[in-house]
């Protein structure tokens, strides 16, 4: 029996201001209901705030934050017999980046009382300094994978 064709990866164009593909992916992740202009305002506003607060190049801070929150391991449930085991797996590079962005955005959204661009800037700065909730999420994921290392032989 032949396998189906794999879905072709869509080529993502770099964003217009920073000419960076990762920033473009981040904007797409922030976007809700197809409102890309609003997502762009939020991300560019956050990058401007980062530039003011840190006096560093915002792209470098952003990439450092992504790097610091990208997981290397994750756990996936696998049923063996009647039991479900949490099996640690390595994370592909593109999935790791996507998870990292998602975690940063989730943490920023969960904060209250400020505009989104300020919350986002704050979380990116914290993540670039290896602190904040997104980095904690990564460490928790690694800790869980380490704790379930005994089930690694179930990896498929």
Q: Is residue 16 part of a domain?
A: no
Quick one: pLDDT at residue 3? 84
42 lies in some domain: yes
Instruction: Specify the pLDDT at position 46.
Output: 96
Question: What was the pLDDT predicted at 10?
Answer: 86
Domain that holds residue 96: 21-154
* Closest residue by Cα to residue 47 from 23, 66, 67: 23
* Residue 45 domain-assigned (yes or no): yes
Spans in the chain with pLDDT lower than 70: 156
The pLDDT value given to residue 96: 96
Provide the 3-class DSSP secondary structure of residue 129.
coil
Query: Three-state DSSP class for 85?
Result: strand
The closest alpha carbon to 51, from 100, 1, 108, 121, belongs to 121
* Domain harbouring 134, CATH code: 1.10.455.10
What was the pLDDT predicted at 110? 95
- Residue 26 inside a domain? The answer is yes
């Amino acid at each position: 029996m032949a396998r189906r064709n794999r879905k072709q990866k869509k080529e993502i164009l770099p964003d217009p201001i920073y000419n960076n593909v990762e920033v473009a992916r981040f904007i797409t992740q922030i976007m809700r209901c197809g409102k890309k202009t609003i997502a762009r305002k939020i991300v560019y506003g956050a990058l401007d705030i980062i530039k003011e607060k840190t006096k560093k190049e915002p792209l470098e801070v952003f990439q450092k934050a992504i790097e610091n929150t990208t997981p290397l391991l994750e756990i996936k449930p696998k049923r063996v017999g009647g039991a479900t085991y949490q099996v640690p797996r390595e994370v592909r590079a593109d999935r790791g980046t996507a998870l990292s962005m998602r975690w940063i955005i989730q943490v920023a959204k969960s904060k209250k009382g400020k505009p989104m661009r300020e919350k986002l800037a704050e979380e990116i700065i914290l993540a670039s300094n290896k602190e904040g909730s997104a980095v904690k999420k990564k460490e928790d994921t690694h800790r869980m994978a380490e704790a379930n290392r005994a089930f690694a032989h179930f990896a498929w």
